[in-house]
Protein backbone atom coordinates (compact mmCIF):
# COMPACT_ATOMS: atom_id res chain seq x y z
CA UNK A 1 0.00 0.00 0.00
CA UNK A 2 1.26 3.47 -0.89
CA UNK A 3 0.56 4.86 2.58
CA UNK A 4 2.62 2.16 4.31
CA UNK A 5 5.47 2.69 1.89
CA UNK A 6 5.46 6.44 2.59
CA UNK A 7 5.34 5.78 6.32
CA UNK A 8 8.35 3.47 6.15
CA UNK A 9 10.26 5.96 4.02
CA UNK A 10 9.57 8.77 6.50
CA UNK A 11 10.85 6.62 9.35
CA UNK A 12 13.90 5.29 7.53
CA UNK A 13 17.27 5.72 9.20
CA UNK A 14 18.54 8.45 6.90
CA UNK A 15 15.25 10.28 7.19
CA UNK A 16 15.53 10.35 10.96
CA UNK A 17 18.69 12.37 10.69
CA UNK A 18 17.37 14.79 8.07
CA UNK A 19 13.66 15.31 8.62
CA UNK A 20 12.37 17.34 11.52
CA UNK A 21 9.34 16.50 13.59
CA UNK A 22 7.65 19.59 12.20
CA UNK A 23 8.19 18.42 8.62
CA UNK A 24 6.81 14.98 9.44
CA UNK A 25 3.80 16.62 11.10
CA UNK A 26 3.22 18.74 7.96
CA UNK A 27 3.33 15.64 5.76
CA UNK A 28 0.96 13.76 8.06
CA UNK A 29 -1.43 16.73 8.22
CA UNK A 30 -1.50 16.85 4.42
CA UNK A 31 -2.27 13.12 4.22
CA UNK A 32 -5.10 13.59 6.74
CA UNK A 33 -6.51 16.46 4.67
CA UNK A 34 -6.41 14.29 1.54
CA UNK A 35 -8.17 11.50 3.42
CA UNK A 36 -5.28 9.09 2.95
CA UNK A 37 -4.72 8.76 6.68
CA UNK A 38 -6.76 9.19 9.83
CA UNK A 39 -5.77 11.66 12.53
CA UNK A 40 -5.05 8.72 14.83
CA UNK A 41 -2.70 7.13 12.25
CA UNK A 42 -0.98 10.48 11.73
CA UNK A 43 -0.45 10.95 15.47
CA UNK A 44 0.89 7.40 15.81
CA UNK A 45 3.29 7.98 12.93
CA UNK A 46 4.57 11.25 14.40
CA UNK A 47 4.94 9.63 17.84
CA UNK A 48 6.82 6.71 16.28
CA UNK A 49 9.09 9.14 14.45
CA UNK A 50 9.84 11.02 17.65
CA UNK A 51 10.68 7.80 19.51
CA UNK A 52 12.91 6.53 16.70
CA UNK A 53 14.60 9.93 16.50
CA UNK A 54 15.38 9.79 20.22
CA UNK A 55 16.79 6.28 19.86
CA UNK A 56 18.87 7.26 16.83
CA UNK A 57 20.25 10.26 18.73
CA UNK A 58 21.12 8.11 21.73
CA UNK A 59 22.79 5.50 19.50
CA UNK A 60 24.80 8.19 17.73
CA UNK A 61 25.91 9.71 21.04
CA UNK A 62 27.03 6.29 22.29
CA UNK A 63 28.98 5.60 19.11
CA UNK A 64 30.63 9.02 19.25
CA UNK A 65 31.59 8.47 22.89
CA UNK A 66 33.10 5.08 22.01
CA UNK A 67 34.98 6.65 19.10
CA UNK A 68 36.38 9.50 21.19
CA UNK A 69 37.35 7.17 24.05
CA UNK A 70 39.07 4.82 21.61
CA UNK A 71 40.87 7.72 19.96
CA UNK A 72 42.08 9.08 23.30
CA UNK A 73 43.28 5.61 24.30
CA UNK A 74 45.19 5.17 21.04
CA UNK A 75 46.77 8.60 21.47
CA UNK A 76 47.62 7.68 25.08
CA UNK A 77 45.78 10.77 26.38
CA UNK A 78 44.50 10.39 29.94
CA UNK A 79 40.78 10.60 30.58
CA UNK A 80 39.19 13.14 32.92
CA UNK A 81 38.77 10.41 35.53
CA UNK A 82 42.44 9.42 35.31
CA UNK A 83 43.49 13.07 35.74
CA UNK A 84 41.15 13.48 38.70
CA UNK A 85 42.60 10.33 40.29
CA UNK A 86 46.13 11.67 39.86
CA UNK A 87 45.15 15.04 41.37
CA UNK A 88 43.58 13.25 44.31
CA UNK A 89 46.69 11.10 44.90
CA UNK A 90 48.95 14.13 44.60
CA UNK A 91 46.86 16.09 47.11
CA UNK A 92 47.11 13.18 49.58
CA UNK A 93 50.88 12.96 49.12
CA UNK A 94 51.33 16.72 49.65
CA UNK A 95 49.53 16.66 52.99
CA UNK A 96 51.95 16.93 55.95
Find out whether 64 and 89 touch, Cβ atoms under 8 Å: no
Find out whether 46 and 24 touch, Cβ atoms under 8 Å: yes
Residue 51's pLDDT is what? 85
Per-residue model confidence as pLDDT tens for the chain (96 residues): 444 555 565 556 545 555 577 788 888 888 889 888 888 988 888 888 888 878 887 887 788 888 877 887 888 888 888 999 999 999 999 987
Find out whether 25 and 19 touch, Cβ atoms under 8 Å: no
Amino acid sequence: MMLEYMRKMALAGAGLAIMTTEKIQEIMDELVKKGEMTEKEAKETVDEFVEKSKKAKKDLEEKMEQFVTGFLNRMNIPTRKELDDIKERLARLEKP
